[in-house]
Amino acid sequence: DQQVKQNSPSLSVQEGRISILNCDYTNSMFDYFLWYKKYPAEGPTFLISISSIKDKNEDGRFTVFLNKSAKHLSLHIVPSQPGDSAVYFCACLGAGSYQLTFGKGTKLSVIP
Amino acid sequence: GAGVSQSPSNKVTEKGKDVELRCDPISGHTALYWYRQSLGQGLEFLIYFQGNSAPDKSGLPSDRFSAERTGGSVSTLTIQRTQQEDSAVYLCASSPSGYTDTQYFGPGTRLTVL
């Protein structure tokens, strides 16, 4: 049973527009959420995170929104750039835990 | 400074053979994790080492999988009698002290079992 779902396997966005990547989770014990970005032949790199006590965290062009009641988080990238083209993984962490539970990823393509 | 390194980057083996995958974590990081990513899947947790504590092996899929961490630094993941379903990218990560610390990933080892 998948605890973290990224329902869109791929997304194409025009350069300069907003990219919105979505993630849903089922485990109510998750209280820390992260986004990782992965280029081909490289390991995932940490992008941004949010604690369950917040509903928004912003870092430059990247903003993560958390809706705890809906068990939903999203990553907004604005403006999108061709270098943002990668696979984005949502990951969740339970309180006092260290095991990241990952979604299957969404492949973002930013078209110049 | 140097990131997490893994070797080999690619490994092709025949079904039934044993393989060893190596991970060098970031110097000073006490926590080390192994994950694997099968085709079309997200990352799947395998095992976690934290300092001198007993490792959490709860994610290992079978007893053919084992891992050790020598001297609190380098780790080796061993897969015995490999099967085709073991084909995946095996990723190692380290973090300063575990829990909500950011995990830094290596580039992975792509294992192909023929």
In chain A, the number of structural domains is 1
* Domain CATH code at residue A63: 2.60.40.10
What is the largest distance, in Å, between two alpha-carbon atoms of chain A? 43
- pLDDT score of B100: 64
Catalogue the E-assigned strands of chain B.
5-7, 10-13, 19-24, 31-37, 43-50, 65-69, 75-79, 88-95, 104-105, 109-113
Contacts of A89 in chain B (CB under 8 A): 42-43
Residue A74 reports pLDDT greater than 70 = yes
Query: What does the pLDDT look like over B21-45, one tens digit per residue?
Result: 999 999 989 999 999 999 878 889 9
Interface of A with B (CB under 8 A): 4, 6, 32, 34, 36, 41-46, 49, 89, 91, 93, 96-105
- Under the banding of pLDDT at 50, 70 and 90, the label for residue B99 is low
Q: Which domains does chain B have, with CATH numbers?
A: 5-96 (2.60.40.10)
pLDDT of residue A108: 98
For residues A39-50, average pLDDT: 91
Range of the domain at A38: 4-111
Q: Taking all residues of chain B, what is their mean pLDDT, rounded to a whole number?
A: 92
